[in-house]
Each structure stands twice: as structure tokens, then as C-alpha cells.
Amino acid sequence: MIGVMVPSGSSIWDSRCNDSLPNYPQTCITNYCKTGEYMNNCNYLPLRNLSGVDLSNTDLHKANFRGDDLSGTNFSNADLTNANLSGADLTDADLTNANLSGASLSGANLSGANLSGANLSGASLYGANLSGADLTDADLTNVDLSNTVLYNAANIPFRNFDLQKKLNQYWYCLIGDYSGPNNPDCVKYDERHVVGISPTEITSYQIEKDSTLTIVYEDSDMSKKLEIFRDQKLHQHLWDMYTSITPPEILSELIYFVVYTDDYGGEVALVSRDTDNPLKFYLSVDPVDVGPSGIKLDKQFYVSTLIHENAHILSLNENQGDNKSLSEDDASTPETYKQQMKNAEYSCAPNYYNDLAGCMKESSYLNAFYQEFWAEIYHDFKWALEFDDYETFSEHNTEFYLKYQKYWLTVYSSENPDEDFAESFMAFVLKEKPSAPTFAEQKILFFYQYPELVEMRDFIRSSIATSEFCNNDNVWKDQKCRQPVPATPQQQPTPQQQPTPQQQPTPQQQPTPQQQPTPQQQPTPQQQPTPQQQPTPQQQSQQSENGGCLIATATYGSEMANEVQQLRELRDNQLLQTESGTAFIIAFNDIYYSFSPVIADYERENPYFKEAVKLAITPMISSLSLMQNAESESEVLSIGISVIMLNLGMYLGVPAIVIVGIRKINYID
């Protein structure tokens, strides 16, 4: 009987079907009502066009509506559990209180649809268009909203999780962990983007009082390969994205915006104090890192990096310390730097001394952070400027990282207290407030003791939500996209007032031709921030050999970053949650540190050995991932023991073989 054309006007309906479906062949309707799986057999029947039809209260579970025109169809209270609606046109459909749990709606057009009260738990909305849809009281538990267009969707049930999911993507994208949530918007580190140029200051802008930019320098003789990055529209876009997520009190600390590149990889962005205005900052960003195509920006990576940079301005601005920075002479050699730094630290003690901001005030954010998390381990730490080159520092710092593994939220956190503060602030902004914090996550909770920083967090998160979910000049406010309320400075501001929406421009919507003046061929020297040409100690204070705070794509993008992240998660989520797991870690560390210095020495002397150790570590980490399945005490113990045995074999066995190999290689040489 299936697929047989039934004359229209048939009126025998399955009892579960809505009998308000006149003129549709009974066979097909009955079949898809029962199982939903025979709908395709109706393809040649006229009933395929269900647009505008009343299917309310109908049992349509597992129904196949793939690619169908269902615009304006009434599905209210219908059971669409596990139905296939992918690619369907559901424009203006009424899905009020419909049960769509487990349904596939990927690529469906739901613009203007009414989903209020609908159950979408577990549904896939990948790539679906929900612009203008009404989501009042809809259940979005576990919904896949990746790539979903939510422009102007009304009443997104913001239980912190959909925005949080998006912000988690930002986080994982920045730290280079691509094993996390499926995130098509994250641009992975790719060495093919290397341009092959020497460091170049492309364009520099002075920041006016109203946050507009005035060009003060442009490289007139730079490599042709960088031509696509000498685009003032691109620069304006970079700047607009920055201002959109930057609280006014931080923005007011900046006086220059510098577009600078050291090629792909390396430095992504930095802030430092300006040579001529040592109480104010410049922000330098590398367009090759944050938008290798010269057109599309790697938004998640860029925005996360900017949050990190803003944390530096927050913690190192003129109000935070006595501003007695080290002079240029102090950093002329590692020895003089070390000596001057020690002197300065001595006279500042017990407060934290920073070579940019000077002796930190006792109540400053950075000093409070230092006292809580660094004071006890600082004696083991060394600054990058104490070394002749960055690589030697890196080797030292890797050991420091490993020794205090449980302290770090990211690989970059162990770089120094300033970077740890910035990474922790970034985690505070992007991540959910930890309910059962690990040791490292105490650093996230640290920021919650400051109401003004919690407010700043809300501001930044709202700004990101605006850029992700709203358009037509709407802003994310009170968990919805709303029309902005014009600022009324004449009125007495109430303390509850939210940041004015004008501070959250979307880059495309604010063409500002007056901000693109003609390039000055001969800028006056005073106006030039020249961070790259003459590094001063202030500029070097954030510890890289070429000056300034950096988030190295090389660090995060390296093949090890994922593994280190994996290890840390394993340690925090599994091992340290149980007694035997904790004991395992202690035992493991004892064994590891008993011979890791030896390995480190070999590594320094011989690059072949270094590669070999890398090879040896990789299976160890893979074997540790077995532990992720361990839940109970006994499982932790038994799997833990096997893992440690396995690794003992690998560590003691593999390097021995390798040493033989090295001898052979040396002999051939």
C-alpha cells in the first residue's frame, strides 16, 4: 500500500493524527504519523508541500522533512522528537511548545519562527538560521548552536550556557587546544602563513580623545609581501574590535595604536608604556597573526589576546605602582639587569616589584595576586632578561613550569607573574565561575573579590555576545539583543547603569572616513612610538627577547601545547580528585624529577636527543589519557600503576636506545 496514490478527499485518519488535514492522502499521512520513516515514499505525491498546513498536536516523531518547504506551517504542540528537519524551510513556522528534542535542524531556516516553549534539548541546530525567531522559554539544553545564526532572535534563554559555550570556544582557540568543542570559527595555527619578512612597523596611529585614530607613521619602504596589511580599513577594523571589548577606564590609558609584524608566529600583540609618555600605553598588534589572509580576522584568537593585553594595562597602569621603572642602562646586559632588579625588589619587598610599573602598591591587583600565588615560589623563578637569549630562559622556565604544574591555567602562565595575571584574568572573563575550583582555578576566583572587575567581566562578555548574536545596531543586554538606549549624559547616572551601547560598535557598521587621514610621509619624531626600533627596559619588561608581552603562537600552536593541556586536565579532573590519584601524582613527580634534569642537560647538548625525548614523551601522554576513563579510587589506582610502569619502561628504555643512536650519528659526522 505504501506509496500508492490515494485519491484526495480521503478522510480516514490515524487516530494519533490531527484530523484537520483535509485533502491529503491517508496512506502517507498515516505512515509517517506512525513511524515517520515512510515520508520519502510520498515524494511524488502532492502532499509534499506542507507549507502553511496545520499540523498542530500531530505525532510526527522521526518524520523526515528534510529540505521541505514548511514555511508558516503550524507545528504547535506537535511531537517532532528525533525528526529530520535539516535544510527545511521553517520560516515563520509556529513551533510553540513543540517537542523537537533530538531533532536535526541543521541548516534549517527558522527565521521568524515561533519556538516559544519548544523543547529543543539535544537538537542539532548547526548552521541553522534563527534570526528573528522567538525563543521565549524554549528548552535549549545541550543544543548544538555552533554556527547558528541568532541575529535578533528574541529571548534567547540565556542560562549562561549558550554564551558560555561560545566563550569556551574563544578560550580553547586561544590556547591552541583544537581537541575541544567543535569550533569551525577557530583558525588553527598554520605555518603556511609565514610571509618571510623582517619585523616591520607598518602603521602607527595616535588615539584621540574620542577614540578615533590619527595616522602618525607609515612605513614607506616595506616589503611588497606586506602590502595587503597596509590597509587602513583593516587597521580600523582591528581597532574597532579592540574598542568594542575594552572598558573605558582601560581605553583611556592608551595613546598609540601600532600595527606591527614580526611575521606569522612569534609576537601577536603587546602593550607597553610609551617612551615619551611613560605613564601611558601603546597597543601593538600583528595583523599577520590575527588575520593572515589580510581580509578575515581570526576573531576568537584576536579578541582573547586583547583581553589578555587589557589585563596588563589594568594591572600595570600608573595608579598601581610608584612607576619607578628600571632605566635603559639597567637592562644593557643580563647581569646589570639582574643586579638592578634585585636592588629594586629588595627595596620594594614584601610588595611585588615590576620593572615597568615600579614597586606595586600594597592594594594593587598585581601585588595581591603575587602575594597569594607567587610569593612562595618566586625564589625558583627567573626573568627572561636574566638570560642571554630567550631559548635559555625557555629551558629554565620549562623546568619551573613542571615543578609547579598545579599552579598554571595555561602553558604561558609560568612565564612570569605579569603573564600569569593576564592569563588568569582572561580565564576569569571567558570561563564559567568554577564551582569546585582546582588549585590553578583559585586564580580565577581571585578576581571575583573585586566588584569592579566582575563588572568589567560582564562588560566584555556582553560585548562579545553582541558581536556574536546581535545585528542591526542591537546590543546584548540583560541576556537579550536589544535596541540600545541612547546615552543621556545630562541625567544623573544611576549606579546600575550599564555601559553605554555606543561603546560597543560593530566594526562594519561604523564607517569613519575622517579616521583615515592621508599617510604622513615624514612624521614628527615625538609622535612616533618606536617600540620595535629602540627597545627600552619598559618595553622589554614583559619578557621576550624582542620586547614586550607576547602570546606566542609558537607556544600555543606547538604540538606540545595540546598534550600539556591534556595532562593538566587529567591531573586536575581525575587524579587530584581522589586520594590515590594524588598519591600517584606525587610518586610520579618524584620519579620524573629524579631524572628529568639529566634529560634536560642532554637536551641542551644535543638536538637529536631533544627530538628523541619528544618522541618518548608523546606515547607517555597518550598512555596517560587512558586515565581519563578512570572514575573510582580503585580504577585510578590500577590504571595509574599500569601507566607508571609503562612510562618507566619508556623513559628508561627509549633514551638509552637513543643515546646509542646519537653516538652513531656523531661518529658519522
Nearer to Zn ion, 422 or 564 (CB): 422
d(CA 161, CA 158): 7
**Cα–Cα distance between 521 and 217 in angstroms, integer?**
7
**Shortest CB 418 distance to Zn ion, Å:** 7
What sign does the dihedral 151-152-155-160 (CA atoms) show? positive
- Is residue 357 within 8 A of residue 325, CB to CB? The reply is yes
**Of residues 543 and 574, the one with the C-beta less far from Zn ion:** 543
* Lookup result for grid cell 584576536: 302
CB of 311 to Zn ion, least distance (A): 8
What is d(CA 615, CA 532) in angstroms, rounded to the nearest whole number? 37
Q: How far is the CB of 609 from Zn ion (least distance, A)?
A: 32
Q: Shortest distance, CB of residue 310 to Zn ion, whole angstroms?
A: 10
Sign of torsion, CA 407 412 414 420? negative
The nearest distance, CB 270 to Zn ion, in angstroms, is 7
Nearer to Zn ion, 101 or 284 (CB): 284
Nearer to Zn ion by Cβ, of 126 and 257: the residue is: 257
- Rg, C-alpha atoms of the chain: 29
Q: Using the 8-state DSSP alphabet, how is residue 265 labeled?
A: S
DSSP class of 520: P
In the complex, the smallest distance separating the C-beta of residue 272 from Zn ion, rounded to whole angstroms, is: 10
Residue 78 or 550 having the CB closest to Zn ion: 550
List residues near Zn ion by CB under 5 A. 419, 422, 549
CB of 265 to Zn ion, least distance (A): 16
Q: Which is nearer to Zn ion, 320 or 596 (CB)?
A: 320
Find, among 319, 306, 325, the residue nearest to 422 by Cα.
306
Report residue 74 as a C-alpha cell. Answer: 503550524
Min. distance of Cβ 180 from Zn ion in angstroms?
22
Nearer to Zn ion, 27 or 424 (CB): 424
Task: Give the three-state DSSP class for 488.
Answer: coil
Output the DSSP codes for 300-325. Answer: HHHHHHHHHHHHHHHHHSTTTB---P
Cβ-proximal residue to Zn ion, closest one? 549
Question: How far is residue 546's CA from residue 266's CA, in Å, rounded to a whole number?
Answer: 10
Give dist(CA 440, CA 436) in Å, integer: 11
Nearer to Zn ion, 125 or 307 (CB): 307
Exposed/middle/buried for residue 361 (C-beta within 10 Å: 0-12, 13-18, 19+): middle
Q: From residue 511, give the alpha-carbon distance in Å to each of 120, 216, 516, 548.
A: 39, 20, 10, 31
CA–CA separation, 84 vs 292, rounded Å?
Answer: 38
Pick the closer one to Zn ion by CB: 549 or 636. 549
**What's the chain's length in residues?**
669
**What is the edge-to-edge ordering of all strands in the sheet holding 281-285?**
213-218, 200-207, 254-261, 281-285, 269-273
Q: In the complex, what is the shortest distance from the CB of residue 548 to Zn ion, in angstroms, rounded to a whole number?
A: 8
Which of 308/480 has CB closer to Zn ion? 308
Q: How far is the CB of 438 from Zn ion (least distance, A)?
A: 22
